[in-house]
Structure 1
Amino acid sequence: MVITYTKEKNFTPQQVEDLFLAVRWVVGKYPDRLHKALLNSSRVISAWDGDRLVGLIRLMDDSELVCFINYVLVHPDYHGRGIAGHLLEIVKEAYKSYLYINVMIGDSKNVPFYEKYGFTVKENSLPMQYRNVPKYTKR
């Protein structure tokens, strides 16, 4: 298995839907909106096994000082192969001139993973979110 990585946004709505639903992320239920959001992100780095999208990291930045990692996900069939870590290393290199690279960790059990790559939990800081997710209806 050779995983290739690209910053080209050459994925389809179906490919992102498959990946996001495989990790049980609700945004996968809105593939057209998700695809559009990814295309309009500052940067998306994706991981591929041939023509199969197996992972990606989504970034939003201010072009100078701060970068936000919004998604880091790898298809469950590919867990444990170093893909997420490699995506983080690519980001750290791409944004090495920035003062901050922030990540929104969806679950505190993932903290040790990010710490392994040099991230630290910011003291006295909590993530906050306003949810405006519409009720999902099957197509």
Structure 2
Amino acid sequence: MGIRYSDNKNLEREQLVSLFKSVEWESAKYPQELQLAIANSHSVYTAWDGDKLVGLMNALSDGVMTVYYHYLLVKPEYHKQRIGATLVRMMTDKYSRCRTQVVISYSNQVNFYKNCGFIVGDDEIPLFISDLV
């Protein structure tokens, strides 16, 4: 059947939690907040194998100047199928008119994002106030 992509951001809580747990992300511990965060995102693209949520990327944006890509995750058993790269391409195409597109990446994912066209800023440093960090 193949992977199907969608831009519906009204997702079932159980599907979201299962996806976030599969990659061991802390957000899975806050199912209600996670569902609300995804629903309130500016944009969300998802990847589906039948009725199973296997990937997700969201964007927080003013829609004109800047877009921040917050979540990008793919269930581990679906890695190496270009699902993440497809989600990134869909988002970067959608926000191509924004002057700045930003992703905060963990160090082990930097090469993935470089391959998707992002560059590491020389003087940018991510800063956080969070009980999840």
The two structures have a TM-score, normalised by structure 1, of 0.91
Q: Quote the offset at 1:55 in angstroms.
A: 0.4
Answer yes or no: is the 8 Å Cα contact 1:4–1:49 preserved in 2.
Answer: yes
| Alignment-derived partner of residue 5 in structure 1 | 5
Q: Deviations over 1:79-109 (max 9, x none)?
A: 110000000000111011111110011x212
Q: What are the ranges of 5 or more consecutive residues in structure 1 without an aligned counterpart?
A: 134-139
| Alignment-derived partner of residue 98 in structure 1 | 98
Q: Judge which range, 51-60 or 9-18, deviates more.
A: 9-18
Letter in 2 for 1:35: Q
Find the aligned partners of 1:22 and 1:115 in 2 and give their Cα distance.
24
Find the aligned partners of 2:32 and 2:13 in 1 and give their Cα distance.
6
Find the aligned partners of 1:109 and 1:15 in 2 and give their Cα distance.
26
Q: Quote the offset at 1:117 in angstroms.
A: 1.0
The SS at the match of 1:41 is: coil
| Alignment-derived partner of residue 69 in structure 1 | 69
Answer yes or no: is the 8 Å Cα contact 2:63–2:95 preserved in 1.
Answer: no
Q: What are the ranges of 5 or more consecutive residues in structure 2 without an aligned counterpart?
A: none
Answer yes or no: is the 8 Å Cα contact 1:19–1:54 preserved in 2.
Answer: yes
Equivalences, count: 132
Answer yes or no: is the 8 Å Cα contact 1:11–1:53 preserved in 2.
Answer: no
The SS at the match of 2:55 is: strand
Letter in 1 for 2:66: V
- Provide the aligned C-alpha RMSD in A: 1.0
| Alignment-derived partner of residue 45 in structure 1 | 45
